[in-house]
Amino acid sequence: MTQRTFFTKIFKPRTVVGLQVTGTTLTLVKVVNTLKGPEIAEIRSRTLAGQEDSVEQLRALFDRPVLKYDMLVTSIPSCLGSFRRIPVPFQKRRKLDKIIKYQLEPYIPSPIEDVLVDYLPAGSDGNAVAVGLDKETLKGHLALLRSAGLEPDMVVLDEAAIFSLYEAAFRDHDMEQDPIAIIHFGEGFVGIQVASKDAVKFVRILPGSGDIISAIGDTFNIYALQEESRPPHRLFFVGTYPAEDEFAKKIERVTGIRVKAWVPWKKLKNRSQDFSRSNPARFAVALGAALSPSTAPSRPFNFRKDEFSIESVVELKRKMGTVLVLLLFLGGMLTFHLYQKEHMQTQRYREVKKQARSVFLSTFPGTARIVKGQELVQMRQKMAEERARLAWIKNVDQEDTVLQVLKAITKQMAQFPDLYLENFSLDGSEVEIEGNAMSFETVDKLKEAFQGSNMFTSVKLTGAKTTRQERKVKFQMKLVKK
């Protein structure tokens, strides 16, 4: 996950409700956006007895029980809009946003001032699918919702919602490179769109009556004239399509494309048991509408974008204020954390100094004065002095060590039980020993024994005298080690 994707997921709305309003039904899907992706949380639907029943059923849909959400996205049937594929050479999206309305003007019969214009996600081939909606249609839609106490944040058309569902299903599918066709069987119309991974190539709306199969075949022939090099490799059904196998086979014969019923909701985590038990295909548009803000967060399709352009600035300031408060809060938490960490480190440092002083005194109890703050330095000096004093045992694991010399001396002295060794020193290759013997004869024999040893090259008796009190011979010898 990139840093941009992470922050996009953090700041997008947590819960989004997608609502599809038709002449006979109301369908609703609630989606929860998490860091792992969108999850289907709840579905609801109502059947309308007539236009006068719409307001009451809308209230019941949201109030029984009360439905809580952060954002509401509603969808208008695609047959009420005008879809045109027009050539628009552009390099940046901002330019396309400014000129798309005037590029569509020659293709519609109504004055452009009476039409709301948006466009479906465009690729890099210099073409865009522009969508026009009469302003009176939007006003009627909003008036119906406001009568029920609802205020949608976004208003889309069914085909835009279907493409959002397509993006959500294939958002991580790198193999989905070639365009696919989606046939949406709506209420009183059939919507056909050809989409690639990130763009809509072609859209056509057909009436729901008449020879549908021939009209679908003609539609794909028109697309083939425009896009000869990249025909769709799959064709998906979604919506209230005929369930007969023969119908799908007829579509395959007239289009030459393999047909498959589309179940994109299986790509999403589902918390709602009702969704799985019901006919999920009839909730496709509502689900796509709920996914619209998360699948295209940088520029979602929305017929209310011009209406909310001023309010969006206010909303942006409010969000910036919220972000500023959060940053101040995080700064305060960070400052407190650093202060607490510094306090704990100070306490730990004092405890370590106290322990170091205690170890110093227990190791070198004869130390007259310990300099405050220099305990470790002073201890290192004392340890260096002790190492220098005891350097004679540093090679204890090598040949001709002190232990080996002591072993050789002990071996020779073991022959004389009346000998006693009092002092021993080793300086390089010179060995000096002092001891007591019962007689001078014993001392002479010890000297001869050392001279016969392979350990020493020379043996010299440096002193021998009789002690008056103990009546023993105290001797000193100097030996040179090989």
pLDDT of 242 reads: 78
pLDDT of 152 reads: 93
Enumerate helices (H) and strands (E) in the chain, giving the number of each. Answer: 13, 18
Domain boundary among 320, 354, 389: 389
In a domain, 249, yes or no: yes
pLDDT of 3 reads: 44
One domain for residues 26 and 149: yes
One domain for residues 58 and 137: yes
Cβ–Cβ < 8 Å for 156, 76? yes
Q: How far apart are CA 477 and CA 446, in angstroms?
A: 10
Mark the ranges of the chain whose per-residue pLDDT is less than 70: 1-11, 90-91, 171-177, 228-229, 296-298, 307-318, 390-401, 470
Domain boundary among 286, 307, 328: 307
CATH number of the domain at 168, please: 3.30.420.380
Residue 476's DSSP bridge partners are: 434, 463
pLDDT of 246 reads: 87
pLDDT of 204 reads: 93
pLDDT of 1 reads: 44
One domain for residues 211 and 344: no
User: Is the pTM above the cut of 0.85?
Assistant: no
Domain boundary among 368, 389, 410: 389
pLDDT of 313 reads: 46
Cβ–Cβ < 8 Å for 268, 40? yes
Q: Which among 295, 289, 349, 242 has a CA at the least distance from the CA of 69?
A: 289
- Per-residue pLDDT tens for 238-257? 888 877 778 889 999 999 89
pLDDT of 424 reads: 85
